[in-house]
Structure 1
């Protein structure tokens, strides 16, 4: 090979790969094309560094061409990738509460940090969340030529993170001419408008190629209150599952005075008339009255975004020049800017003795000497939703700059050519975030403290002899509208946070053919890499100090470096003999030496066997690993408010063993459990610098059948299994508490939480650790069929399906699989708090485990016209509904007459049956476990185009053409449907393409 032929090689290679089916198999070609293909030089495909003449490897690869991407009618490459059937639950623009504008991919539902994302075969820079996962919105959509998805582990080829698979985004290059695209779309409800515009220009010659492109995307929001399924905290329950922090407030008085140093009320709290409890007060002349549940519960849902807005600008360029016949310089530069926002309901200000109040907020109360306090007593508990702020607005401005520059060429030894490459990649994500609608604890302390009116009747903070300059007294007892703009200006602040993630990589590799074997030449690729990754999170000073009503967190900064070497061999054993038209093996190994935890060695073995021309049998076994990310290692402590059902609350207390109930009581919980009035409990999360890498083993086995008697048909079926150990995770608040209860108070998790005097959780520490693991197993089926051309045009079909057969957890590190982190049993299966069996089809909070995801793409072409019809199927799931039935909302459950068996090792706890097998779980308790069915869902997307005679293409389309609503998920966070489903409504769009 010489570089003189590279341009031809690349052009034909793109044509080849553009026809790859879901498994990496090309559609059948005409005889003349096949003969031409046999003369092509070798190319590199995702999953291997060895250049080869075909695109079929021992591992399954799915590919989307630029036309396939355009046919989906989407403006984000992340949204396109999330539609792949192998993708699970992860961030996208439907994540408002808890989102940050990122869109990620999570192959096999193993987490976005276990899926490696490449751009042009190079590791892409991690997102600003410092978790190692890539934000797909940092990749310019207009620059994408195709997307290849390797549905198998590839740590030996690409290093860390490639446990679940690899997504390789290939950018456009060797573009000659000019092209402009304009796109506009909108939901049929008149909201969620999206616009996209891009322009690309390029030129190429025998020794030189260059191109540049510009892109702009604007995606507008959809409000949660504008869809029936999201206008309530929980569908069909009104405000029942809303917030106890309402606009009129929820308060308690402290007749004996509140002591901020001890954070307690002397003599106990009372309501307005001396009785126990809390009261609400509108400040408009009405008398205070007891706070009523659910009547006074606040419906915060309508004030939230359902679909968050984004605006993205991008510039991308690449070029190459042949310095000599055997050496070429090449470079690719991309710049992307994302401006995004999330909008939540107004800040719930919780102070004093209010549950969930942070340490700083517990020192703040409404003084009896405040001019706005009509009760003459300290207000010790303060819950007030300050709707006067207009809500909490979280804004991100993220810039991504990536540069890849290097040399490539050929070396000649004897009569053999060896390809080589050496270069440098640098990627950086820089984020400057601002948050509006937060409150300063020091300012609240002054504004709610003693105050008076001066001679002019103006309210002043402090006392006449000790005025606090600039302070404006705050009226939280005045009901809605009682807080003026002047008050807000003093007690609120705009938070300014800064994030950075930088990756630098030096790489060099060489490959070619060493000598001939019976099946052909032995191919190899050898490479060296040096990479550094660094990141920091610099929060606003008030947030860093904890002096805010929002989530506090401390600063994070860290870095690590590594050196790697890899070797890959392609070993052809037999070719063109009976029962072995092809038999070859692939082996690879990678050595990685990390500065923070040491070294690791990972290897793989694969094979391909063609007993006949029409059938390819393939298999692969590979070791994998994932190094801990900057955030997992070095994250400072931060607040988090997950939904947590305390094992000691009034609903869970009766289900505990006698020992567990005794431990609850010993922790100060009242007899029978306490009433947990807030499902979101403040916990503290953070990093752990002593983390070790995760380890994994992946196995695939399958076949590809391309029958010569049915031209254009390819069928591929692959079985896959992934075993993950030493998972980097957090135990979760419920597990921490439950493990302590099970230990009788002697276990290590007992030191991780404390309780208040009334039984509520006061503090809970939930940092990252290496514990437990997971196994997943399933099948991928891909069928491609391109029919012979008829009088009615050309038809082609691609049917891609993922079947999840098994998903089991080990959450406590005891080596026992079948543990259910979601605490949801399979129907009728025996389980205890940890042993849950196969969780396929069981839904947890924003954690899907569909048994089947399936996509069917149909394409029709005739002359200058064409159309597509895409169908996307999600199988049904079950979710736990017992908690809702306990709270009196059993009408939401679909199966309320279900009972399950719980194994227990203690015969004293027996109230069920004896199983007599002589091992753990001899005794079975029986308890009720209601469920809710999440229905199967199919979306239909259609589009049609016309190639106009002035070198233009006009496309119109409708996504979700039958207006399919998402299924209700009662355990989904923030809305009553999971963010992986479509926002309700038809989405209509128009695209215009002009070539010059």
Structure 2
């Protein structure tokens, strides 16, 4: 039997237990060396062998560290890692999918593969093709292994950015109940935004109202052996509830800042309506509102509706999970196992009241009964037309009489894995499994304006007369709309969907009985096959299908499709040299995977890696992976339709200057006429139309990922890792970007054919004006950086003192929007912009803990986000960028005997509020929500009873 060397133990200590991890507490100790060493499988390879050391950086997050962070939502836990950017989370309301997703390196949640016990988690529901980690109860996680680099050879498509592998507590013994409570507390004293709201006479909170955004959880776990130890069963049940928190409960989110961040903006869809009025040829535009004294129309004087307070800052959520793990040893050759889990999750996304949103130009006669004689005369005089002519009115009216919009989202996920493993010989074993996962989900959108009813209610030309039960919608009369009139104009849209994933996988792995002449350790290999099928169905009712709800920004059409893939894969680990000067061991690893997709044909991925133990305590590693991601169902089959994007039209009048930012010559390129130049209004909500959708001709993305690093343990008490990584992608599935199309046309005359303005020159009023922005294999990505970790453990004053550092430095984050157009490339490393998520060049977590090895432990953390520069000219508030942010956390754990333990903690002890940005940079509530600490101080406590 090959004996482990000191460096092997040091490396395994670093890689598997936590030195190369984001670990925040002292790592466990590797078992002492014996004649029989346990075979180990590490995320990133299926080869099991006695002396595995990973050639790729694998981070480990343990159950203890998860408990110390205090969060019960898995996405909040992993967002603490410097390598993770905020993706789908509870702090997104408008456009929320109701799911929680993970995004390694900021390459996108669809390029992060999520595994449970080494097997894929199915897609999350009707709005996302990525895995919903709500299915994973935090209390059941034994550890999380994170490989931040390509792993398509081992696990198949989607592992471009890396793999997050949740290892569950499937060997639990006994009975355990865990109950916890948490909440946020903040002192509202932001003088900047309070001053802006005072100028608008907006209301806002001051001081502190105590704890809000409360969350509660109860987890029950039980397990034990049976039949003389041949079998084992672990079962669990969990419940979690998070209360809602509105934007109006924080001063810094109590108004929606304008694009520059210098004033409280808002919507031109105000409680008192505003109107764009045109003659039939769109030659003249009038932007009017109602006179506050009831005397006809007056020119709009810039009043805006503060829609922010009623929006969710954090969505309410309630989740139930049930599950079990079972295994049984019939003999050494057959060991069947079973995993089963179920989740029900219900959340609601509330946003401000619906309205007419200038959605449609209503053709009206001058004899309309809703118009006063004065208003008729004003329109005739303003447009220069006669009483026999018709006019066109776009109406902006907020439905404050009817209350907020609400999207009720429900997800039900079921997953079962059945399989068996066993020994083929002393050196070889097999594993064969079948997996079925299904997620059914629904979206019930309530209290939104139902467009077809408005024509009749305002007496538009061609509509049925408003008689009988029809209540006229008296938008031309000051305060003329009643709750009853508003209520009859609202509607409900319903989406239902189901996604299924089936996987059959089988492989054999082991060691040959021979080695190279220059080494004593035998060659190891794995060979296997996999079949995978995805079927996705989303059924929209007629309301969603035709986009009849005015607050949706366009249709949400049904989506149906699927694909299957057949794969062969193999890996080999070849010890090349052992026990020579400066080469205690040198191992070559290689892998290959062939995939045949029913949609895009065959694809091949492969990897090569070197694992070089220089001498005791020092190891170098390097790897190359060819990764791929096949287009998902939505990218292939999504219907093409008009929707919204956040951005700006440089040819519309800048609200601050009153004139366009672009020149007449530039705007003529975009389809604007000379007569329209200077007469087109900007969207008050910074939202414009785009024509987007899927593309069945897409081919897989490809990526080359490289890593090179050093693992070292210079002293028994200190170990560290340094890893350089590089990811270069081609044929990226995406879009050029509606804003990029507009800017490129204005600046360079490119993509101008993709811009289609309406008759008035607008890209946001109605749906006739839009930017064509369809999915395609459009460009590339180049990401590179350095990850650093260190762990220091020392006995001190009768206890253990532990200090850990996990940091990541971003060198390059280059987007290549269009292949062959390097002038369009831009680098987001250390930058925030309309195109760039806030990406600090340096981000770290430094943790210091002390364990008395008796009944108490204490931990202090420093989470640091480096500063980012602002790349743009619009956001005055962020003109100097976002300053560096530091958050400090404290947590204490207490054990009372063998059966009782409790933990209390405070994250963001100093109650630091998130950095504020203007409307074009904000993801929600004037912040980069879910990335920086969003709601202030977070307090938590939990108690555990074990029997």
TM-score (norm 2): 0.87
Looking at structure 1, the residues matched to 624 and 556 of structure 2 have their Cα atoms a distance apart, in angstroms, of 42
How do 1:698-737 residues align onto structure 2 when only pairs under 5 Å count? 698-707=705-714, 710-737=715-742
Aligned partner (choices 444, 451, 454) of residue 441 of structure 1: 451
Structure 2 counterpart of 1:60, from 48, 53, 57: 57
**Superposition deviation, residue 501 in structure 1:** 1.7
> What corresponds to 2:847 in structure 1?
857
1:244 is aligned, of 257, 268, 274, to 268
Q: Aligned match of 2:623 in 601, 620, 625?
A: 620
Question: 1:270-318, CA deviations, whole angstroms, 9 ceiling, x for partnerless residues?
Answer: 7xxxxx4312356xx6334535443x11111111111111111000111
Please point out which of 902, 914, 922 is paired with 1:972: 922
1:956 paired to 2:899: no
Equivalent residue number for residue 513 of structure 2: 515
Q: How does 1:602-613 map to 2 (within 5 A)?
A: 602-613=605-616
For the residues of structure 1 that align with 2:51 and 2:792, how far apart are their CA atoms? 20
SS class of match (1:345) = strand
Q: How does 1:683-698 map to 2 (within 5 A)?
A: 683-698=690-705
Pair 1:325-2:347 in alignment: no
In structure 2, relative to structure 1, the CA distance for the partners of 1:436 and 1:429 (3 Å cut) is same
Find the partner of 1:631 among 629, 634, 639.
634
When residues 846 and 192 of structure 1 are mapped into structure 2, their CA distance, relative to the original with a 3 A threshold, is farther
Question: Against the structure 1 CA distance between its residues 523 and 423, is the aligned structure 2 distance closer, same or farther, given a 3 Å change threshold?
Answer: same
Structure 1 equivalent of residue 407 of structure 2: 394
Asked whether the 8 Å contact 1:233–1:974 carries over to 2, the reply is no
Quote how far apart the aligned CAs of 1:581 are. Answer: 1.4
Deviations 1:558-612 (A, max 9, x none): 1011001100001112223322211111000100000001111111000111111
Distance of 2:257 and 2:472 partners within structure 1: 37
Tell me the SS of whatever aligns to 1:426: strand
* 2:773 counterpart SS class: coil
The answer to whether the aligner puts 1:432 opposite 2:442 as a matched pair is yes
Match of 2:385 in 1: none
Three-state SS of the structure 2 residue aligned to 1:127 is strand
Residue 491 of structure 1: how far off its partner (Å): 1.5
Deviation at 1:96, TM superposition (A): 1.6
Contact 1:845 1:973 in 2 (8 A): no
- Corresponding position: 1:233 with 2:243: no
After TM superposition, give the deviation of residue 476 of structure 1 in Å: 2.9
Counterpart check, 1:383 vs 2:396: yes
Alignment of 1:778-789 (within 5 A): 778-788=785-795
Q: Does structure 2 conserve the Cα–Cα contact (< 8 Å) formed by 1:371 and 1:450?
A: no
Are residues 1:600 and 2:621 paired? no
Which whole-Å CA distance do the structure 2 matches of 1:443 and 1:598 have between them?
Answer: 48
Sort the Cα spacing of 1:49 and 1:633 in 2 relative to 1 into closer, same or farther, 3 A.
same
Q: Name the CA distance, whole Å, in 2 between partners of 1:669 and 1:105.
A: 48
Shift of 1:129: 4.7
1:417 aligns with 2:407: no
Judged with a 3 Å threshold, the aligned counterparts in structure 2 of structure 1 residues 370 and 718 are, in CA distance, closer, same or farther, namely same
CA distance in 2: counterparts of 1:212 and 1:121, whole angstroms? 19
Cα distance 1:835–1:327, how it changes in 2: closer, same or farther (>3 A)? closer
Which of the residues 558, 563, 566 maps onto 1:563?
566
Distance 1:340 1:14 in 2: 42
CA distance in 2, matches of 1:245, 1:277: 12
- Report the secondary structure of 2:635's partner residue: helix
Offset of 1:45 from its aligned partner? 1.0
Among 331, 336, 339, the alignment partner of 2:346 is 339
Deviation at 1:39, TM superposition (A): 2.2
State the alpha-carbon separation in 2 of the partners of residues 363 and 174 from structure 1: 66
Counterpart among 811, 815, 820 of residue 809 in structure 1: 815
Q: Find the counterpart in structure 2 of residue 6 from structure 1.
A: none
Are positions 1:192 and 2:213 aligned together?
A: yes
Give the distance between the partners of 1:343 and 1:785, measured in 2 at CA. Answer: 47
The 5-angstrom pairing of residues 834-853 of structure 1 reads 834-836=824-826, 839-844=829-834, 847-853=837-843
Which residue pairs with 1:934 in the alignment? 882
Asked if structure 2 preserves the Cα contact closer than 8 Å seen for 1:772 and 1:810, the reply is yes
Which shows bigger deviation, 193-202 or 644-653? 644-653
Supply the distance in 2 between the matched residues of 1:965 and 1:704 (Cα, whole angstroms): 37
Gaps of 5+ in 2: 2-10, 186-209, 377-390
Q: Which residue of 1 aligns with 2:534?
A: 533
Change (3 A) 1:842 1:239: closer
Partner of 2:356: 349
The structure-2 alpha-carbon separation of the partners of 1:447 and 1:704, relative to structure 1 and needing over 3 Å to count, comes to same
In structure 1, C-alpha distance between the alignment counterparts of 2:49 and 2:804, rounded to whole Å: 25
Alpha carbons of 1:763 and 1:373: their partners in 2 closer, same or farther (altered >3 Å)? farther
Q: Deviations over 1:359-404 (max 9, x none)?
A: xx33576985345867674772211000122111111010111111
Match of 1:287 among 288, 295, 298: 295
Correspondence for 1:585:
588
Distance 1:662 1:187, change over 3 A: closer
Residue 71 of structure 1 aligns to a residue whose secondary structure is helix
User: Pick from 642, 646, 661: which aligns with 1:643?
Assistant: 646
Task: Output the CA distance in 1 between the equivalents of 2:833 and 2:843.
Answer: 15
3-state SS of paired residue (2:75): helix
C-alpha distance in structure 1 between counterparts of 2:61 and 2:223, whole Å:
23
Please list the CA deviations of residues 529-581 of structure 1 after superposition, one character each: whole Å capped at 9, or x if unmatched: 00011112222311202322132222111101100110000111222332221
From 205, 208, 212, the equivalent of 2:235 is: 212
Distance 1:529 1:721 in 2: 28
* 1:27 CA drift (Å): 8.4
Could you say what secondary structure the match of 1:133 adopts?
A: strand
Structure-2 change in CA distance of 1:983 and 1:363 (3 Å): same
1:761-792, Cα deviation, whole Å (9 max, x unpaired): 5132222111111101100001011112x324
SS at match of 1:132: strand
Deviations 1:122-178 (A, max 9, x none): 011112255432222122223222111002111111111111111001111111110
Distance 2:862 2:325 in 1: 36
**Offset at residue 410 of structure 1 (A):** 1.2
What's the offset of the Cα at 1:89? 3.8
State the secondary structure of the residue aligned to 2:32.
Answer: helix
Structure 1 residue 655, shift from structure 2 partner: 6.6
Residue deviations 1:393-425, cap 9 Å, x none?
Answer: 11101011111111111112xxx4311011111
Shift of 1:735: 2.1
Give the 3-state SS of the residue equivalent to 1:201 in structure 2: strand
2:869 alignment counterpart:
878
1:673 Cα deviation from its structure 2 partner: 7.3
Tell me if structure 1 keeps the 8 A contact 2:503–2:532.
yes
Q: Per-residue CA shift, 1:494-519, capped at 9, x if unaligned?
A: 22111222111011111111232124
Question: In structure 2, how many angstroms separate the alpha carbons of the residues matched to 1:807 and 1:120?
Answer: 31
1:768 to 772, 775, 785: 775
The answer to whether residue 803 in structure 2 is matched with residue 797 in structure 1 is yes
- TM-score by structure 1 length? 0.83
Residue 618 of structure 1, CA deviation: 0.4
Are residues 39 and 643 of structure 1, via their aligned partners in 2, closer, same or farther at CA, if it must alter by over 3 Å? same
Give secondary structure in 2 for the equivalent of 1:67.
Answer: helix
The root-mean-square deviation of aligned C-alpha atoms, in Å, is 2.9
Structure 2 CA distance for aligned equivalents of residues 382 and 726 of structure 1: 43
Q: 2:194: which partner in 1?
A: none
- 8 Å CA contact 2:49–2:511 kept in 1: the answer is no
Q: Aligned equivalents of 2:373 and 2:888: distance in 1?
A: 60
Long gaps (5+) in structure 1: 2-12, 255-263, 271-275, 452-460, 820-833, 885-889, 894-930
Distance across 2 between alignment mates of 1:43 and 1:950? 30
Q: Hey, what's the Cα distance between the residues in 2 that align with 1:227 and 1:572?
A: 59
Match of 1:988 among 924, 939, 943: 939
Q: CA deviation at 1:222?
A: 1.6
